[in-house]
Amino acid sequence: MSRDNVMEVPLTVLMVQITLISIVDAVHPGCECLVFSATYGKEKGVFKSPDFPKPYSSNIDCLLYTFVGSSDEIIEINFMDFDVRSNGQVKCMQGDYLKVFLHLESGDVNEYTPWERLLCGRLADIPTIMYSSGPGLVLEFHTGPRSVNATGFSGTFRFIDKKKYKTGGMRLPNTMCDYQFLSSNHQPSYGKFYSPRYPSNYPSNIRCSYRFRARHGENIRIMFEEVYLQKGDISCLNRADIIRVYDGKTSADPAITILCNEGTEMEVLSTGPELFLEFVANSDQPGRGFKASFQFQQGIDNSVEIQKVSKPSGNVLSIGDGEPSASEARSQCDINIISDTNKNGTIASPNYPAPYPPKTTCRYEFQGRGKERVQIVFQEFNLYNLPGSKDCEGQDSLVAYVHIDGRMEKIDTFCGNTSPKPVMSNGPRLKLEFQSLYAAKYPRGFKAIYSFTENFGIRTGTQLPDYPCAFVFNSNESRSGIFYSPNYPGSYPRDTECHYFFHGNHDEKVHLHFNYFDIEGVLPCEAVSASDYVEFSNYMARDRKYSRHCGQLEEFDVESDRKFFRVTFRSNDRLDGTGFNATYHFLNEIETYTKKPAASRGTYESNQNWCLFYGFIVTLARFLQ
């Protein structure tokens, strides 16, 4: 494309460069317009406010920065500096501001052209990178009558090939954003798909579906590379913009995952040949949306017998997105366990129950599907420990890793002879790495039971298929009982949201007593402090009557106002705690809860119901050997 307009204008001589400015019938007569349509061989061009970095002048009524690409291009602008006076108004209108038009088919705007947002304040107050959805983008700059010391803005722009963000598959007729992806000999087995307008903001009030259909013997793998919906950590129950992924052909099938905030590198694996994804957006301030890849994969049938030792191999270990990791060559005792053929079983250190050999590294890799999480329950743990050591550094050890942001991240290290609490993955993958450094005559090593579970280790209540992790407790089935966080009494998994719905009869309320509470975070348990939290509500929506709970708390009670009550647990991808253990009692409205005395306070061992229940789990695990 031939571009003969200006890339950057020295705005201190704005009125002299008459050839670069046009008076247009834009937002209103008298607007001055700077046109940027080329980068002249450079990767990026530059734009600035008048006199930057000196303070801009007052009474700039309408200055347009118009970026125009070819029909097959979109525009990226990146603010490097931003200092535009704000008078504290939420929408900037009463101060100086920059109005942004992102969805244009050309550089033309008028008083009826809808704009996307107003920018004012400092660099931290605005989205620094923005994209157009078409070949045109306009910034409209206004300043008030009062002179200020604000320096304005500077940024870069570039033109991007629109085909880079083309969704694969076939768009269904007479739809805006419904796509179908079929596995066949005539189509690639992998590709990309995006939210509407990505990387620009998606429109509001839309509903899009993405249907994936593999061939017999195949599964579907989805990797969400980027998700930008709403900022913050509000429960997905209360979000206007949401992504739901179902393990089947329609939304009536079980939900694998629900996404509603921001994140990167989130993996989804179907259990069968079909997968359905639904994207619904109803918020007033849409985000950038999502970028994802898909792959049709042959069913995995190369899992090994658990009690066998795999032969040495020159192959490398495949982790995360399926690409080999050059630093992880297989050792003689590596084991790869796939839920397709082994839903549960046992793993052990080399030579168990005989002492394990020195200078040995073994990796135990687990891969589930659908909403499955990997849970490890230890039966025996006895590793050699150097005399006087206080931590696991330099010791024989077992390290647990989970998949976070595209990489395997360590979540815990175990050593010595104290049996670890249960371990659970945050998604379909988990890796354990055993390292023995020393020769020892007596330590037997470890033995553990693994299981691919869809119930997040929660075995009370009735699980709902509509959510990845949701359980109903109905007064007609049981007027009292226990409930607890995922994987309790082990550390709860990261990136997890679970709901507990309590339904009483017409004249009932529910009383909750928390015997143990350890949720990573600090008050007020908000996203700014990267806190996990537990939330209470008399409604499905958020209930401002109750503050969020996090941290290590003494025993406490919560009671509903009516027959319905919701408890939501949410963890992020940072740290984790042991979770919570609580009892529930449905009461008539005139009844008063009476606490039953416990043998001791403050630890999960004190709850007799839980001890009996956990004993049942261990007994069942031994039975499954």
DSSP letter for each residue of 116-141? -EEE-EEGGGS-SEEE-SSSEEEEEE
Closest CA to 8 of 61, 52, 56, 59: 52
> Do residues 576 and 493 touch, judged by C-beta distance below 8 A?
yes
Residue 607 pLDDT greater than 50, yes or no? no
Longest dimension (CA), the chain: 90
Phi-psi region of 105 (alpha: psi -120 to 50; beta: other; left: phi over 0): alpha
- Do 447 and 494 lie in one domain? The reply is no
Range of the domain at 214: 166-298
Question: Is there a domain that residue 603 lies in?
Answer: yes
**Phi, psi angles (nearest 5°) of residue 605:** -65, -20
Residue where a domain terminates, one of 276, 298, 320: 298
Query: What is the distance between the terminal CA atoms of the chain, rounded to a whole angstrom?
Result: 69
**Phi, psi angles (nearest 5°) of residue 420:** -65, 155
What CATH number is given to the structural domain containing 339? Answer: 2.60.120.290
- Do 27 and 57 lie in one domain? The reply is yes
How confident is the model over 482-505, as pLDDT tens digits?
Answer: 999 999 999 999 999 999 999 999
Question: Is there a domain that residue 323 lies in?
Answer: no
> Do residues 97 and 118 touch, judged by C-beta distance below 8 A?
yes
- Do 174 and 289 lie in one domain? The reply is yes
Token pair recorded at residue 190: 């992998």
- Do 218 and 88 lie in one domain? The reply is no
Residue 308 pLDDT greater than 90, yes or no? no
The confidence band for 304, taking pLDDT boundaries of 50, 70 and 90, is very low
How confident is the model over 521-555, as pLDDT tens digits?
Answer: 999 999 889 999 999 999 999 999 999 999 999 99
Looking at residue 326, what DSSP letter applies? E
- Do 377 and 504 lie in one domain? The reply is no
Tokens 């499905």 sit on residue = 540
- Do 525 and 571 lie in one domain? The reply is yes
Domain count, the chain: 4
How confident is the model over 247-260, as pLDDT tens digits?
Answer: 999 999 999 999 99
- Do 251 and 181 lie in one domain? The reply is yes
- Do 592 and 556 lie in one domain? The reply is yes
Rounded CA-CA distance 555/582 in Å is 9
Burial classification of residue 484, based on how many CB atoms lie within 10 Å of its CB (0-12 exposed, 13-18 middle, 19 or more buried): buried
Core vs surface per residue 520-532: b (16+ CB within 10 A) or e? bbeeebeeeeebb
The confidence band for 244, taking pLDDT boundaries of 50, 70 and 90, is very high
Helix (H, G, I), strand (E, B) or coil at 210: strand
- Do 368 and 249 lie in one domain? The reply is no
- Do 271 and 176 lie in one domain? The reply is yes
- Do 603 and 617 lie in one domain? The reply is yes
Helix (H, G, I), strand (E, B) or coil at 614: helix
102 CB contacts (<8 Å, ≥6 apart)? 116, 130, 131, 132, 133, 137, 200, 201
In one-letter notation, the amino acid at residue 498 is C
